Structure 1
Amino acid sequence: MDDLTNFLTSIGPEVEDADEESFFLFSQDIPSSNLGFVDSRAPSLDVSIHGQDYVVRQSPTLLSSSRAGGTTGAVLWKITPLIAEWLSHTSKNPLWTNSILNESSTVLELGCGISSLLALTLAPSIGHYVATDQEYVRRLLRENLDENVPSSSSSSPSSSSPRMGSKGRQRRQKQLPQQQRSPTSNITFAALDWETDIPASLKESLSLSSPTPRPTEDEADEDEDEEPDQGFDVLLSCDCIYNEALVAPFVRTCADFCRLRPTYTPDQDRAQQNQQSKRKKPTVCIIAQQQRTPDVFETWLRESMRVFRVWRVADEVLGGKLGVGSGYLVHVLVLRGD
């Protein structure tokens, strides 16, 4: 069994019916999380993930402004630290144990917001992390990278020099585990508009296009015209679906990025699987969201199931802080091959 099939088999049931999935999930008792902000009035927040402390700078003023295009990315949402903790548990998370994520992976985040928590927790263990959102989050995202990057990474092109002003901050940096002491030059921010930008050009615009793996002699003739890899191994989204107007452009953007890689074809023969494993693998989408209204969720699920196969990650895989009844959900999507 190939890694992706093994991963999908291990995470939980495939969703077969949008109505049934929505009814089941929203018939559970869901704790109130208000809108989902941690604290929308605080200029900064302290967050701990796997025993490591982070400082997240926010902009309550920007959140309450009338800026066209939305301002929800200006503050930290409750689901983000939970997903960062789950994703970065490399010894237990099935994304890592099935090699969907590994040290050479490229990860794309849609709607990253200002916190940088997903980037900071995943980047030390992968090849490259691309965080995307509207242009207005760039400055605060960079400040949060600066605030939390180890001093050894001060030359990173992704951020300015780290702030080392307080003794407390110096102590926090000294306590960083070894895994987190890697430079963060593999974190890149890019402004991305789901309505107008072209996913196929993102990697090239950032000079991140991956070369095609060198073929064997038997594969040389077959592969000589293969183009550089413009796709990503994993696409992440954390709480980007909160009104119906966002659903269509969001799903379309996810699908366009996934089309840069092969589709998932579990019934292909072993020789084809081995051939594909040497080259580009399908993109795996991880969609995390807070439960708000069943109408928005069902609209997203219906739209997604038109072009994706969808799995809900089981509670035992997610742990106690996520899953059914927590008010948070995680689904995995792979582009349909039929």
Structure 2
Amino acid sequence: MNVQELENSPETMRIDENNLDEHIFELYAAHLPPLNSDLGMYSRSDKCVELSLELDGSKPKSNILLDLEIHQAIGMLKSSMASTTGAVLWKVSRLFAEWILIPGTFFYSVFRTPGLTVLELGAGVSGLLACALTIPLLKNGRGLYVATDQAHIVPLLRRNICHNLPEVARCISASQSSIATGQVRTEVAVLDWESDSDFQSMISDLEIRPEFDIIVACDTIYNDFLIDPFVLTLSSISSANTIVVIAMQLRSNQVLESFLSALLQAQFKIYSILQAALDIRMRNGFVVYCLAR
């Protein structure tokens, strides 16, 4: 995928200084979540969450279920630590993962590009996206997925991914006759947006190229304090060939407007996926953006 494809797609709309206010108004006037929706946590009390993702089996009537067991850090969530939101699974991650792997959706073919390299920012403890999006990489036989977060999140993130990857392999076996895993890597690494050295340390430790095809983030911006470090991180680690995909639950319109304004100021091109192109469960209360340099 490149900028021209984003520009020409009937499923995207370019957001700039001229239509930013109108875009924000339409989102919050027509696509707010139901009144009874909460902050967006999947469960704020369960130490272990069991869920099944319905994924494409690549043949008619052959959809398969990816059964995941996700351990949450409920004690961390209730603690006085400065950063605790990554301690639990958030609803948008599940919805985004199921939507992105449906045939015919905007990113379906993108995540089936052989040799694709993907970096996830603010993965949280769940590892859900890493497990779901590793599936197309494994089907192609080569690729790299690196899930990142702050140091106190990474141990449980790694545990959840390692625990669920055998289930990922089982799902692929159910949908095709062979799995070529030799050139596919799923990694976990520390990447703090406020640390200039974390990215280079990660590149060195994992012995990988310092350039990713896709950077993905789900529900990482929910207050003003996160905007500047997140945008600075994106600016420093993305290249002219990188596409950034951000899925968000709609909460504060002021925070979203500040975030998009900061991205524009940092010279990112912003494309909003039209609500009609999203999964029906995401059309009220959620938004997906693509960014390019």
Identify the TM-score tier after normalising by the shorter chain: 0.7 to 0.9
The whole-number CA distance in structure 1 between the counterparts of 2:136 and 2:246 is 20
**Deviation of residue 181 (structure 1)?**
6.3
**Deviation of residue 30 (structure 1)?**
2.8
Who is 2:73 aligned against? 59
Q: Is the 8 A contact 2:149 2:191 kept in 1?
A: yes
Who is 2:204 aligned against? 204
TM-score, normalised by the number of residues in structure 1: 0.73
Q: 1:94 aligns with which of 99, 102, 106?
A: 106
Moved more, 191-200 or 116-125: 191-200
Q: Quickly say closer, same or farther: Cα 1:53–1:181, change in 2 above 3 A.
A: farther
**Deviation of residue 285 (structure 1)?**
0.6
**Deviation of residue 41 (structure 1)?**
0.4
Who is 2:5 aligned against? 6
Q: Is the 8 A contact 2:67 2:167 kept in 1?
A: no
The whole-number CA distance in structure 2 between the counterparts of 1:7 and 1:110 is 22
User: Does 2:116 align with 1:105?
Assistant: yes
Who is 1:219 aligned against? none
User: Does 2:284 align with 1:334?
Assistant: no
The whole-number CA distance in structure 1 between the counterparts of 2:180 and 2:131 is 10
Q: Which has the higher strand share?
A: 2
Letter of the 1:110 counterpart = L
Who is 2:60 aligned against? none
In the comparison of the two structures, how many residue pairs are matched?
269
User: Does 2:81 align with 1:82?
Assistant: no
**Deviation of residue 178 (structure 1)?**
4.1
Q: Is the 8 A contact 2:216 2:245 kept in 1?
A: yes
The whole-number CA distance in structure 2 between the counterparts of 1:4 and 1:101 is 18
The whole-number CA distance in structure 2 between the counterparts of 1:302 and 1:102 is 31
Q: Quickly say closer, same or farther: Cα 1:83–1:193, change in 2 above 3 A.
A: same
User: Does 2:142 align with 1:139?
Assistant: no
Q: Is the 8 A contact 2:6 2:271 kept in 1?
A: no
Letter of the 1:177 counterpart = A
Identical pairs, percent = 32
TM-score, normalised by the number of residues in structure 2: 0.84
Q: Is the 8 A contact 1:108 1:234 kept in 2?
A: yes
Q: Quickly say closer, same or farther: Cα 1:111–1:35, change in 2 above 3 A.
A: same
The alignment yields a C-alpha RMSD, in angstroms, of 2.5
Q: Quickly say closer, same or farther: Cα 1:296–1:101, change in 2 above 3 A.
A: farther
Bigger Cα Rg: 1
- What per-residue deviation string (whole Å, max 9, x for no partner) do you get for residues 244-281 of structure 1? 010011111111111xx22xxxxxxxxxxxxxxxxxxx
